[in-house]
């Protein structure tokens, strides 16, 4: 039975370059079409095996590094050309975790640098779970928004995993920025925010632009505009929630007044 | 019965050969036997010269060692944590505990997904044993940290972090195919960096 399947695979697409795990997944899919050959476990619990996800981790070091370097370049829309545009989950997942670590680090550094003389340093650990939830939710929900928008303009070439991949890699720009954000100078912080907003948004928009070349102009600009708007919202939330504790009076930059946090004002709290 | 002149067993499979009667020996002997096994494995993992057979000893994995080191680290750091700050002692304990086990789980899962063929618990065992240098630095900083400036505190942190990372990297890199080595090693590096940063900052 398995020999037949192997032959079928090679007959169908003899010239397609497939990696080992893709071949195994294809064989498993073809096996699944034959209802006698699947156990109940295979039918329902395939989602829980490791082999199911191995296809998405099929990357080499050079590929990941090439994608990361490409993500720093906001104008070339060539992200989906690297490595054949295969969606993968390794890059987004570990970039996310690195970002959580560096943001927690820089929030604590800011607090440390703003110590009044004689005050004991209070490290802040609850930032870590909050950050984790924020980052993971952001990385799950925003690609879904992209996918829904793409479905509305009936574009099916970019799947949800493609959107996840490109969104995860676009977050690489935030890693050095979050480290540099630990400098308590507000002018530098705003400049860094503007830079990362610009870099990440233009990376995403130029790549989507490239992919959606053949769509009519209005739909294309709608998608691209949606990407930009969502990005701007998230960056503003990020800046004002995590880096809002900077104490302007202590730095002697403004006259004495009570510190206001913008976000609770926006949300209508006291 | 006199067992004093028998060779100390180094893992649970050797124990059965000795046919020791566990119910007859004192509690201290049982505990000492387990502690000796942990100490043997620790020396094996952390001192690179002892590894002559390329990690075969690790097939006898056990999770007692990682549990002890995880608990000591969490207790040291939460003991040092002030109860007046926004993070209470129990928060710190919980975060460290969860971080070590979930972190070891995620790093091992990553190595398996990249195509490594290793037993899951073997890798968790190794990562847990390599937390021992971080334990040492946490204890050093807890006792003498308040008298030292920040830069001096960095030195044992960096040394212990390099030691943990170096011990576990050799094993992790041997699990995956050669063009994915750095991909499997980077999460280990991040994991120990996170732990070292926690022990530095408390």
Judge whether residue A257 has pLDDT over 60.
no
Measure the CA–CA gap between A88 and A166, rounded to whole angstroms: 9
Count of C-beta atoms within a 10 Å radius of residue A222: 14
Which chain B positions have a beta carbon within 8 Å of A97's beta carbon? 187, 190
Judge whether residue A216 has pLDDT over 80.
no
Interchain contact, A125 vs B91, CB within 8 Å? yes
End-to-end CA distance of chain A: 70
Q: Which residue has the higher pLDDT, A264 or A212?
A: A212
Which chain A positions have a beta carbon within 8 Å of B92's beta carbon? 125
Q: Average the pLDDT over A187-205 and give the result.
A: 86
Interchain contact, B91 vs A108, CB within 8 Å? no
- Nearest chain B residue to A126 by CA distance is B87
Interchain contact, A123 vs B181, CB within 8 Å? no
Q: Which residue has the higher pLDDT, B49 or A142?
A: A142
Closest Cβ–Cβ partner in A58, A61, A125 for B182: A61
Average pLDDT, chain A: 75
CA of B83, closest CA in chain A: separation in Å? 11
Judge whether residue A243 has pLDDT over 90.
no
Which chain B positions have a beta carbon within 8 Å of A128's beta carbon? 95
Q: Using an 8 Å CB-CB cutoff, list residues of chain B that contact chain A.
A: 82, 85-87, 91-92, 95, 109-110, 112-115, 179-183, 186-187, 190, 193-194, 197, 201-202
Task: Estimate the crossing angle of helix B27-46 against helix B64-80, to 10 degrees.
Answer: 90
Judge whether residue B102 has pLDDT over 80.
yes
Which chain B positions have a beta carbon within 8 Å of A62's beta carbon? 179
Q: Average the pLDDT over B89-99 and give the result.
A: 86
pTM reported for the whole predicted model = 0.77
Tens digit of each residue's pLDDT (9 = 90 or more) over A32-69: 555 556 677 766 777 777 777 777 787 888 888 888 88
Predicted pLDDT at B90: 81
Continuous segment of H or E residues that includes residue A204:
helix A186-211
Q: A251 Cβ partners below 8 Å, 6+ apart? A: A184, A185, A186
Burial of B62 (0-12, 13-18, 19+ CB in 10 A): middle
Interchain contact, B182 vs A120, CB within 8 Å? no
Closest Cβ–Cβ partner in A50, A101, A123 for B113: A50
CB B181 within 8 A of CB B60: no
- Percent of chain A residues topping a pLDDT of 90: 3
Q: A134 Cβ partners below 8 Å, 6+ apart? A: A238, A241
- Percent of chain B residues topping a pLDDT of 70: 80
pLDDT-derived band at B46, boundaries 50, 70, 90:
confident
Judge whether residue A130 has pLDDT over 70.
yes
Name the token pair of B100. Answer: 């070590």
Burial of B149 (0-12, 13-18, 19+ CB in 10 A): exposed
Q: Which residue has the higher pLDDT, B50 or B60?
A: B60
Q: Average the pLDDT over A230-257 and give the result.
A: 63
With vertex at residue A92, the alpha carbon angle to CA A41 and CA A146, rounded to the nearest 5 degrees, is 90
pLDDT-derived band at B8, boundaries 50, 70, 90:
low
- Number of H helices and E strands in chain B, helices first, is 8, 0
pLDDT-derived band at B52, boundaries 50, 70, 90:
low
CB B168 within 8 A of CB B100: no
Q: A182 Cβ partners below 8 Å, 6+ apart? A: A105, A106, A107, A109, A110, A113
Q: Which residues of A76-89 are buried (b: 16+ CB within 10 A; e: fewer)?
A: ebebbebbeebbbb
Closest Cβ–Cβ partner in A97, A122, A125 for B190: A97
Average pLDDT, chain B: 80
Q: Which residue has the higher pLDDT, A254 or A215?
A: A215
Tens digit of each residue's pLDDT (9 = 90 or more) over B140-182: 888 887 777 778 888 889 999 998 888 888 788 777 888 888 8
Predicted pLDDT at A58: 78
Measure the CA–CA gap between B168 and A99, rounded to whole angstroms: 23
Tens digit of each residue's pLDDT (9 = 90 or more) over A64-94: 888 888 888 888 778 887 777 788 888 899 9
Closest Cβ–Cβ partner in B82, B179, B194 for A61: B179
Q: Using an 8 Å CB-CB cutoff, list residues of chain A that contact chain B.
A: 21, 50, 53-54, 57-62, 64, 90, 94, 97-98, 101, 105, 108, 120, 122-126, 128-129
């Amino acid at each position: 039975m398995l020999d037949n399947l192997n032959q079928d695979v090679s007959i169908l697409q003899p010239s397609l370059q497939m990696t080992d795990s893709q071949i195994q997944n294809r064989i498993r899919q073809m096996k699944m079409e034959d209802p006698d050959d699947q156990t109940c476990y295979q039918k329902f619990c395939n989602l829980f095996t490791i082999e199911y996800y191995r296809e998405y981790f099929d990357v080499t070091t050079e590929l990941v590094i090439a994608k990361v370097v490409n993500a720093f370049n906001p104008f070339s829309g060539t992200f989906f050309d690297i490595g054949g545009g295969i969606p993968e989950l390794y890059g987004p997942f570990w970039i996310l975790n690195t970002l959580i670590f560096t943001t927690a680090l820089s929030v604590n550094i800011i607090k440390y640098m703003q110590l009044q003389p004689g005050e004991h340093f209070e490290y802040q650990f609850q930032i870590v779970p909050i950050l984790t939830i924020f980052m993971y939710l952001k990385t799950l929900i925003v690609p879904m928004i992209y996918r829904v928008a793409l479905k509305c303009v009936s574009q099916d070439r970019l799947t949800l995993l493609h959107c996840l991949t490109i969104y995860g890699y676009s977050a690489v720009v935030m890693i050095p920025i979050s480290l540099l954000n630990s400098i308590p100078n507000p002018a530098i912080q705003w400049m860094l925010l503007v830079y990362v907003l610009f870099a990440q948004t233009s990376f995403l928009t130029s790549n989507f632009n490239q992919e959606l070349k053949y769509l009519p102009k209005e739909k294309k600009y709608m998608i691209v505009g949606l990407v930009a708007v969502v990005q701007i919202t998230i960056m503003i939330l990020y800046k004002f929630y995590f880096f809002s504790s900077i104490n302007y009076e202590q730095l002697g930059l403004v006259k004495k007044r009570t510190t206001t946090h913008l976000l609770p004002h926006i949300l209508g709290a006291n | 019965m006199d067992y004093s002149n028998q060779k100390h067993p180094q893992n649970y499979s050797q124990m059965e050969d000795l046919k020791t009667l566990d119910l007859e020996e004192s509690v201290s002997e049982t505990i000492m036997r387990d502690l000796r096994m942990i100490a043997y494995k620790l020396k094996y993992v952390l001192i690179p010269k002892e590894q002559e057979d390329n990690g075969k000893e690790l097939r006898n994995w056990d999770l007692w060692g990682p549990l002890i080191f995880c608990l000591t680290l969490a207790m040291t750091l939460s003991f040092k944590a002030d109860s007046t700050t926004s993070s209470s002692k129990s928060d710190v304990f919980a975060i460290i505990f969860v971080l070590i086990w979930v972190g070891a789980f995620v790093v091992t899962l990553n190595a398996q997904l990249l195509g490594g063929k290793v037993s899951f618990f073997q890798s968790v065992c190794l990562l847990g044993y390599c937390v021992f240098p971080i334990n040492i630095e946490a204890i050093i900083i807890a006792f003498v940290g308040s008298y030292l400036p920040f830069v001096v505190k960095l030195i044992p942190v960096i040394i212990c972090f390099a030691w943990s990372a170096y011990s576990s990297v050799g094993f992790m890199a041997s699990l995956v195919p050669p063009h994915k080595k750095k991909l499997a090693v980077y999460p280990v590096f991040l994991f120990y960096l996170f732990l070292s940063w926690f022990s530095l900052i408390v």
